[in-house]
A and B are shown apart, each in its own frame.
Chain A
Amino acid sequence: MSTLIARAEAHSPAVGFGERLAENQRRVFQIAYSVLGNSADAEDVAQEAFLRAYQKFDSLREAEKFRAWVNRIVFRLALNRKRGYRRRLERDTAWQSMESPAMVDGAKEAEQQVMLDRLRKEIERLPAKLRSVLLLSLVEEMDAADVGVVLGIPAGTVRSRVHTARKLLLEVMQ
């Protein structure tokens, strides 16, 4: 009987999930932040991604599987939320602008913040293929192979798109 209980407990999502959460939370948060540009939304989206992972945890116990799955899902959720913003912005007239990251996160050098805002705008103007690759590559623990897994492209393509994106940014960031 005790063996049965122990086996049932071992299969409970609660066991092992906390560990996976600790391993992945920083990267998952950064992926969301890179797309959305503010902490509050990034936190919401990262939490949503982990809750979905919790529901599917039986098939995601393996560390690598969990990592790949949660990277992909948080990126998609963040993009969806961003699209939602854009639609709302287009609908709600131009005078209502998006909350500036500076207002949310505060305490950053004003000049650097201005430059960062400009850079974000320039990244937004990049072609979607280059933008996705660049944003994911900027996350600390994501190498070309990880980015490739999320986007379904080879690591070589990731590297060449990052290079192209940087070249375009170099041209526009005076």
Chain B
Amino acid sequence: MKNACERWKDQLRETALTGARTPQFAEHLQTCANCSAELRDLEARRARLDTLLPLVAQGAEPPADFRARVLAAAEAAGKRRRVRRWQAWTLAGAAATAAIVLVVGAVLHRGTTGKIQPEGLAAAQKLAEWRAPSDSLLATPGQEILRTTPKLGESYLNVPMKAVEEE
């Protein structure tokens, strides 16, 4: 391509692709052998491209049993999903039942332990009153004083006032 023809470069490609040509370009083609040859070359390339391009996507077809295989795979996947869902529901049901049993059991247990039976009460009282035989050896004189709690303003050592006056 001559330097003078450089300005027609893009127009050449457009014409090769679309067939459209401006009047000025058509006029130029009539006088320029180089551009005419270039256009013929580009048109041949476009024709080759038109043949090849569809093959990029349409060069192969899905196999004849494609539909059957997809349906079988989908069915198998669906089954697996149903089984998983069923297992999840079963597990959730079992967990809910276990939780209900635990709650009911706890409530019933609390109901029975809330009331103290008379026999139990008597046994507890007996146990509380029980003293070891060695307790008398460990007794101190102060124990009797400490047995009763003094009232407000009183002391543990309740010394009669009279005795003080006599001295």
Residues of A within 8 A of B (CB): 13-14, 17-18, 21-22, 25-26, 29-31, 33-34, 37-39, 42-43, 46-47, 50-51, 54-55, 101, 105, 108, 112, 115-116, 119-120, 123, 135, 138-140, 163, 166-167, 169-171, 173-174
CB of B123 within 8 Å of the partner chain: no
Q: How far is the CB of A111 from chain B (nearest CB, A)?
A: 11
B77 near A: Cβ within 8 Å? yes
CA distance in complex: A120, B53 (Å): 9
The answer on a CB contact under 8 Å between A47 and B70 is yes
| Alpha-carbon gap, A108 to B52, bound state (A) | 12
Please list the residues of chain B having a beta carbon within 8 angstroms of any beta carbon in chain A: 13-14, 16-17, 42, 45-46, 48-49, 52-63, 66-67, 69-71, 73-75, 77-78, 81
Q: Which residue of A lies closest to B18 (CB)?
A: A163
Q: Which of chain A's residues has its CB closest to B51's CB?
A: A112
Main secondary structure of the interface of B (DSSP, over half): helix
Q: Closest Cβ of chain B: how far from A69's Cβ, in Å?
A: 15
Mostly, the A contact residues are helix
Q: Is the CB of A54 within 8 A of B78?
A: yes
- B64 → chain A, closest Cβ, in Å? 11
Could you jot down 24 A-B contacts, CB within 8 Å? A21-B67, A33-B57, A33-B58, A34-B56, A37-B56, A42-B62, A51-B70, A51-B74, A54-B77, A55-B77, A116-B55, A116-B56, A116-B59, A120-B56, A135-B57, A138-B57, A167-B14, A167-B17, A170-B16, A170-B17, A170-B42, A173-B45, A173-B48, A174-B45
In the complex, the answer to whether B52 meets A119 with C-beta atoms within 8 Å is yes
